[in-house]
Amino acid sequence: MELNLFSRYFSRSPRAAATLIALCLLSACAVKPPRGANIGPRFDDDTYSQLINKYTRHDAKFDGLNQLFDVYATMQTTEVQAAILQKRSDIYEWTPSQAQDERDKMFQNNSTQTRFAVSFFVPNTRLNDLNRKTTMWRFYLDSQGKRYVGTATKRKDKFVDLNAMYPYHTRFYKPYEFTFNVPLSVIESAPAMLTIASAEGVAHLKFAPQTSANH
């Protein structure tokens, strides 16, 4: 009886029926089914951005009204890497074999290295050369009374890919990866400070220990 009344109502009101169909289609589109193999937790865009922000530090230096440089740095914690791998798995529709290879590579790298994703801006583009041997910039990672000297490589990812992984990254910044030869578990377990220094100024980016890190 209820179904008959429901059918009669919508047969007499095409507009209401069309609205209901549109709402159903929107609801279906709003929930995107997983497309790639499982690696880590899946997040919606807002939650993913919150996670990246949690492990990101930002600093900008000025001389009066003149900006000297601007930097964002995201520590590649176990949690961050798992979320990024899952995001890439869904974007590129990785197979279980591909996903496992990437996960294995992550743990292998983490056993000897700590890495940061860095977006760097300086008005004088000739000074934005952190990856060159002749650069005037120096970068250090301090933790538990020890200092580690890092190396920088310029990332070759397409802008759309970088922006998807690190929402703060814009075309004004040049993307780098900082690598320090110290196991990630050592850095995750204690406070750490990333220092970027030159005659233009110094940025001190402080990171809290990651109590949730599991190794």
Per-residue confidence (pLDDT) for residue 15, from 0 to 100: 55
Give the 3-state secondary structure of the chain: CHHHHHHHHHHHCHHHHHHHHHHHHHHHHHCCCCCCCCCCCCCCHHHHHHHHHHCEEEEEEEECCEEEEEEEEEECCHHHHHHHHHHHHHHHCCCHHHHHHHHHHHHHHHCCCEEEEEEEECCCHHHCCCCCCCCCCEEEEEECCEEEECEEEECCCCHHHHHHHCCCCCCCCEEEEEEECCCHHHHHCCCEEEEEEECCEEEEEEECCCCCCCC
In a domain, 175, yes or no: yes
In a domain, 213, yes or no: no
In a domain, 212, yes or no: no
Same domain? 20 vs 45: no
Per-residue confidence (pLDDT) for residue 154, from 0 to 100: 97
Same domain? 18 vs 65: no
Same domain? 63 vs 88: yes
Instruction: Look up the domain containing 25 and give its range.
Output: 1-31
The amino acid at residue 74 is: T
In terms of Cα–Cα distance, which of 158, 67, 81 is closest to 117? 81
Same domain? 64 vs 131: yes
Same domain? 155 vs 128: yes
Report pLDDT digits (tens) over 114-124. Answer: 999 999 999 99
5 has pLDDT over 50: no
Same domain? 15 vs 65: no
Q: Poorest-confidence range of 6-10, 79-83, 174-178, 198-202? A: 6-10
In a domain, 162, yes or no: yes
Same domain? 20 vs 49: no
Phi, psi for residue 143 in degrees, rounded to 5:
-160, 135
pLDDT range class, residue 35, cuts 50, 70, 90: confident
Per-residue confidence (pLDDT) for residue 210, from 0 to 100: 74
27 has pLDDT over 90: no
Report pLDDT digits (tens) over 123-172. Answer: 999 999 999 999 999 999 999 999 999 999 999 999 999 999 999 999 99
Q: Poorest-confidence range of 35-39, 62-66, 120-124, 188-192? A: 35-39
**Number of domains the chain contains:** 2
Same domain? 189 vs 83: yes
Same domain? 70 vs 21: no
In a domain, 134, yes or no: yes
Same domain? 19 vs 90: no
In a domain, 91, yes or no: yes
Per-residue confidence (pLDDT) for residue 41, from 0 to 100: 86
Same domain? 74 vs 13: no
Per-residue confidence (pLDDT) for residue 2, from 0 to 100: 44
* Percent of the residues in the chain that have a pLDDT greater than 90, as a whole number: 77
Same domain? 134 vs 62: yes
In a domain, 63, yes or no: yes
pLDDT range class, residue 92, cuts 50, 70, 90: very high
pLDDT range class, residue 40, cuts 50, 70, 90: confident
- Integer Cα distance of 183 and 111 in angstroms: 5
In a domain, 214, yes or no: no
